[in-house]
Amino acid sequence: MARTARTKPERPVSTGESAPNPVWFKPVMFGFMLLGLIWIIVFYVSQSQLPIPDLGSWNILIGFGIMFIGFLMTTRWR
């Protein structure tokens, strides 16, 4: 009588779509959103003197851009 070796069942290879995010992902995502918000608040509270006075109203666009990076990251959050 012939014996066959038992093998472990193979697991399907993950393509990375359902893989969880790294530990650093969520703090960085929320960090970008908060940094953008703080940038805009500082601009308004300092009456256009901070964070970069030479940019003037472009500071608002920079703040929203930083927040937008955080919001884009939410689409990859699992």
pLDDT tens, 24-70?
999 999 999 999 999 999 999 998 888 888 999 999 999 999 999 99
Residue 36 lies in a domain: yes
Query: What's the pTM value of the predicted model, to 2 decimals?
Result: 0.73
pLDDT at position 48 is 83
Task: Give me the domain span that covers residue 38.
Answer: 32-74
Residue 10 lies in a domain: no
Distance CA 57, CA 26 (A): 30
pLDDT at position 9 is 67
Greater confidence, 62 or 18?
Answer: 62
Distance CA 29, CA 75 (A): 10
Residue 13 lies in a domain: no
How many domains does the chain divide into?
A: 1
Residue 47 lies in a domain: yes
Residue 3 lies in a domain: no
Residue 42 lies in a domain: yes
pLDDT band for position 12 (cuts 50, 70, 90) = low
